[in-house]
Chain A
Amino acid sequence: SQQGEEDPQALSIQEGENATMNCSYKTSINNLQWYRQNSGRGLVHLILIRSNEREKHSGRLRVTLDTSKKSSSLLITASRAADTASYFCATPYYGGGSQGNLIFGKGTKLSVKP
């Protein structure tokens, strides 16, 4: 079963607006990571938040983590057309003797219109 489920599946906003994407997961986690992927390209690591952290910032990105609800959100402030991409949350999976391989959610496809 997947570790991360994200919503919305797609989000379309105007440049300058904020974009919020949510992620839920099913099991206990050590950390949760967000990645960005431009169409057909590689995944780029954006931010990692540890299970004992509640909020983390990186530039225009703000990530929150609520371990009691098993959910996280990624907020992109003052969006730009260049932020158009798919955004995935991912959690390391330790079940069945696994060493922490990342399990990805379905992703949110963000479109920022100029």
Chain B
Amino acid sequence: AAGVIQSPRHLIKEKRETATLKCYPIPRHDTVYWYQQGPGQDPQFLISFYEKMQSDKGSIPDRFSAQQFSDYHSELNMSSLELGDSALYFCASSLSQNYGYTFGSGTRLTVV
């Protein structure tokens, strides 16, 4: 069965650069979520989309933005990167609130 696809798997950027992470949810899942997980930390919710509209915002810096496109894929745009942005970034999708989320394998972002 198709899973949540994230790209790239690894990304190295320099401080102050920009990065774009992509996520392709499971077909027919109506909600997409983005999470950030620092080393040894639990995942922190960034932002979510329901049927291509932004539904919730968590601890997402103003330097970050995200959108969901007509084909349901989502992109997380990160600008003016800082060393502290180095983390694993996960995308997840779900069909409804009463089902578990399916997570992608994540993008490991390293800012140097």
Contacts and interface: CB of A to CB of B under 8 A. Distances in A.
B98 A107 contact: no
A99 B97 contact: yes
Interface residues of B, number: 25
B55 A43 contact: no
A102 B33 contact: yes
Interface of A: 2, 30-31, 33, 35, 40-45, 47-48, 50, 88, 92, 97-107
Interface string B36-49: 00000011110010
Interface of B: 31, 33, 42-45, 48, 50, 55-56, 58, 88, 90, 92, 97-106, 108
Given A88-B42, A102-B33, A103-B45, A43 B103 contact: yes
Contacts of A47: 100
A40 B55 contact: no
